[in-house]
Amino acid sequence: MTHLVESGRGKSRERPSPSRPTRPQPRSSFRFARWSDGGSSTIRQVRVQTFTLLEAGFDEYHRLDSTFLDLDGRPVDSERVDSVTLLDSEGARRTVSPAQWLPTTRIRVEDSALKRARLSYIPQQVVVGGVEISATPHPFVAKPGEHVDIGLEGTPLRLEAHDALLGLGTSSTLTLEFPDGRTESYKTKAGGLTLPLVPPGEFRIRATGALPAAAQFLAPVESAVRLTVVTYVDVVIIGALFSLGALWLVGLVRRRNRRSPGVAPAPLVSDFATRGPTPSLVVSGVSDGSTSKNGLRWPATAGSTPPLPLPR
């Protein structure tokens, strides 16, 4: 088949490449289960000598089409779901991936005849991002075109480590202890770490650093869990600040010593008691109530005597 393609100046003929037909996705799958006489081999030889009734039974499968919801009803990214553990109506427990095919009917032999029994499932546990989360035990039946909502008893958890001195986000190794006693280690970057789902309960967390930090909290939490960590960068900055402060103090003391003149020591009390006060000259014609002798002035105080005259 050819098509006419309009161009700016005329028409040209273009032969398109043949398109491949889209293969529809199957809604159901069937697998051989057993023969009505009890055999289970897929290949067998049958000799018919008289009237014989022989039936082949097939189990029916449907793909699990499900959405996972946390405790707040928010959908969980199915790509973060590792596995789902289901308990079927026959008491068998199976662990499957979110998009795996599930048997919806089981072939049984009753009175030498095959009977089909429909299966139902109860979610028990879901592993999300490596964390085991209990599922809401609501039974369901996998049918073609039917969507199943699986509730999870967990909520997201945000973990952050911040620098104690600068208050900025920092990378660290966080060790998280779950309510059941199990511990997991996570390496965080400056932007923090978000766990897609954790179960409710009491958690303990530790962060590595120059001075390790620890905290305890209850999940679910409305905001991020933040740990203040003293990092090795903080230790270097604090050490540098202390060194600069010490150098500044030493320089300040040296500057003060250079600017201050020498100060004569004060006379001792013993010197004053033995030799008496230092005499002073008397200005002629000045009388201030002091006694004088031989041109020296002595302050007049009660019980005082003038000093001996100095030799000329």
Average pLDDT over residues 65-81: 89
Q: Please indicate, yes or no, if residue 68 is contained in any of the structural domains.
A: yes
Rg (CA), the chain: 49
Say yes or no: 33 and 69 in one domain. Answer: yes
CB atoms within 10 A of CB 89: 14
Tell which of 232, 262, 282 closes a domain: 232
Query: What's the whole-number average pLDDT of the chain?
Result: 76
Tell me if the bond preceding 21 is cis, omega within 30° of 0. no
Give the Cα separation of 172 and 157 in Å (integer). 17
Say yes or no: 133 and 161 in one domain. Answer: no
Give the Cα separation of 240 and 247 in Å (integer). 11
Say yes or no: 65 and 84 in one domain. Answer: yes
Name the β-bridge partners of 292.
297
Give the Cα separation of 65 and 157 in Å (integer). 26
Domain with residue 221: its CATH number is: 2.60.40.1120
- Domain containing residue 160: 155-232
Least confident of 89-98, 103-112, 130-139, 271-280: 271-280
Residue 216's SS3 state is strand
Tell which of 198, 232, 266 closes a domain: 232
What's the pLDDT score for residue 310?
52
Average pLDDT over residues 211-215: 82
Say yes or no: 68 and 164 in one domain. Answer: no
Say yes or no: 222 and 145 in one domain. Answer: no
Give the Cα separation of 238 and 245 in Å (integer). 11
Whether 131 has a pLDDT exceeding 70, the answer reads: yes
Torsion angle, alpha carbons of 68, 69, 70, 74, to 10: 130
Cβ 101 vs Cβ 95: under 8 Å: no
Give the Cα separation of 170 and 232 in Å (integer). 11
Q: What percent of the chain has pLDDT over 70?
A: 74
Q: Please indicate, yes or no, if residue 275 is contained in any of the structural domains.
A: no
Say yes or no: 78 and 193 in one domain. Answer: no
pTM: 0.58
Say yes or no: 131 and 159 in one domain. Answer: no
Say yes or no: 145 and 201 in one domain. Answer: no
Q: Please indicate, yes or no, if residue 184 is contained in any of the structural domains.
A: yes
Q: Please indicate, yes or no, if residue 169 is contained in any of the structural domains.
A: yes
Name the β-bridge partners of 189.
192
Say yes or no: 162 and 143 in one domain. Answer: no
Whether 121 has a pLDDT exceeding 90, the answer reads: yes
